[in-house]
Amino acid sequence: MAAAACSAAFAVALCADAGAFRAAGVIVLMETLLLALPWRVPRTGRSVAGFWAEIVCGLLAPLGALAVAVWAGPAWLWQPGAPQWYVAGAALGGALLWLGGMNLRALATGELAFFAGPTRPGHGYARATAILVGPFGEEALYRGIVLTAAASAATTDLPLGLLAAAAFVARHHISPGANGRDSTRAMAVEVSAAALLLALTVYSQSVYPALLAHLINNIPSAVLQIQCARSGRADTV
């Protein structure tokens, strides 16, 4: 409930402005309401269609915000940032991986997938899709919008940035049931990512170094989901 309230507060803050801000706010509010529905748990027993339905709902705000950004054409969309910020982004992505405790060697050999166990292919591929696609829209929504606010005299960017960082963490905890994000380590990674990705965006004046960091952190998790899904498919043959 607290996570949904935080996301809704961010949506209301966006709706207080006009144009692209309001459009993004409406989309965030819609996603929050959809994710707060009483989805069937545990998720492992859900049909593939039902699982994908929740995944699609969870991509509504990121992809919707990305579409709004492309439509509105804010200045940050065309600001690549200086090369040194990509070095910083790569380092940040690696640091987040280290903080999360991902064993890349075990991932490469398949040991992580073996110990995680097989998953239903439809479930694993759905998770991998969300992990890989989500960062593009999340950077537009939770970081790019702060750059837009900073360029607007009508909007105060610091409070919005802090609220965006909190909402970025909260959106992963709206849906009912466990999703592997409730551990102390997972929360530490999320909070650190929210703060550091925002700082990287503000200092570089570009969302793209933060996007690089986000993808570096997410790609190994997507690979793990795909490996588990393939194991699940092999078990059904």
Domain boundaries, the chain: 1-235
Q: What is the mean pLDDT of the chain?
A: 91
- Between CA 175 and CA 162 the distance in angstroms is 22
Q: Is the pLDDT at 145 greater than 80, yes or no?
A: yes
Rounded mean pLDDT of 22-34? Answer: 95
Q: Tokens at residue 24, please?
A: 């993004």
Helix (H) or strand (E) holding 80: none
Mean pLDDT, residues 209-237 taken together: 88
Residue 123 has pLDDT above 90, yes or no: yes
Q: How far apart are the first and last CA of the chain?
A: 41
Let me know: does 193 contact 70? Beta carbons within 8 Å: no
Q: How would residue 182 be classed by pLDDT, with cut points 50, 70 and 90?
A: confident
Q: Which residue has 């702060």 as its token pair?
A: 146
Query: Which whole number is the average pLDDT over 149-156?
Result: 66
